[in-house]
Structure 1
């Protein structure tokens, strides 16, 4: 008896449709490795890194150069000073948190160009990339268990 592979339960898309979908996915996301390479090489023009979690999380551990704009506080007034020509790369805690998605959606709805950082600060720290923190803030270290600080 031959059984159909589960992998093929839903047939693969034709190559042109798949390429278009994957191009769209890449237009909306950046991975930590690409971002750290840009930061290390000084290629910082054209985008802003946005921490979408609460100020306490931002104080404890953030990607160098990030600004804090909690998604819950995003309003037309709170983003009025942002440059609409730039791309805003939003991140949050991890794949278990959707604050980056919520923040990117709000910014997009307000007319900004956006991307999300895959894996959030958890993936960033797991890769061993540097974080900034406020001097008096308690350090949040990488923990493989899901937590959300938004």
Structure 2
């Protein structure tokens, strides 16, 4: 007996491993970012790519506010070329993080997207902080 789930057989285990290993090379999630930040030395720079207003209204604690248009080679000189950047924006309805990731990668910078953005952060029950606009 088949149904919409079983009518197409699952992929081979090797294909599943390859697909999800590749996917995780491109993205991370809010819970994993929170765990890494709690550890004190996360191994990445967390960047909120939204504008200063939304950032000031609430952002992930420790995130720098660098809107996508300000991610210039000169702005990035403060970090070694192999620094991993994790970028996020408002949430799944926003492609700002994807655009920032594309831009950073085009500059030769390692990057991952924090899927879910601020919406995902709130959905996980994680605290945000409010502050004046800040840029690194």
Output the TM-score relative to the length of structure 2. 0.85
CA distance in structure 2 between the partners assigned to 1:75 and 1:10 by the alignment = 46
Indicate the RMSD between aligned Cα atoms, in angstroms.
2.0
| Deviation by residue 1:98-130 (Cα, 9 ceiling, x = unmatched) | 101110110011010011112001111222212
What residue number does 1:23 align with?
A: 21
Residue 46 of structure 2 aligns with which residue? 49
Tell me, yes or no, if structure 1 residue 103 matches structure 2 residue 100. Answer: yes
For 1:60, the equivalent position in structure 2 comes to 57
Could you list the runs of 5+ residues in structure 2 that have no partner in the other structure?
none
CA distance in 2, matches of 1:57, 1:131: 12
Distance between the aligned counterparts of 1:5 and 1:120, measured in 2? 34
SS of equivalent to 2:73:
coil
Aligned counterpart, 1:73? 70
User: Normalising to structure 1: TM-score of the pair?
Assistant: 0.78
Match of 2:131 in 1: 134
1:125 counterpart = 2:116: no
- In 2, the alpha carbon distance for the partners of 1:124 and 1:52 equals 15
Q: Secondary structure at the match of 1:115?
A: strand
**Partner of residue 146, structure 1:** none
Count of aligned pairs between the two proteins: 133
Gaps of 5+ in 1: 138-150
Q: Deviations over 1:15-52 (max 9, x none)?
A: 212211100111111111111112223232x2010101
Matched, 1:116 2:113: yes
Larger mean CA deviation between 28-37 and 71-80 belongs to: 71-80
Q: Is residue 34 of structure 2 the alignment partner of residue 36 of structure 1?
A: yes
Aligned partner of residue 36 in structure 1, secondary structure: helix
Task: Quote how far apart the aligned CAs of 1:133 are.
Answer: 1.3
Cα-to-partner distance string for 1:26-82 (whole Å, 9 max, x where unaligned): 1111111111112223232x2010101111111111111111111133333333333
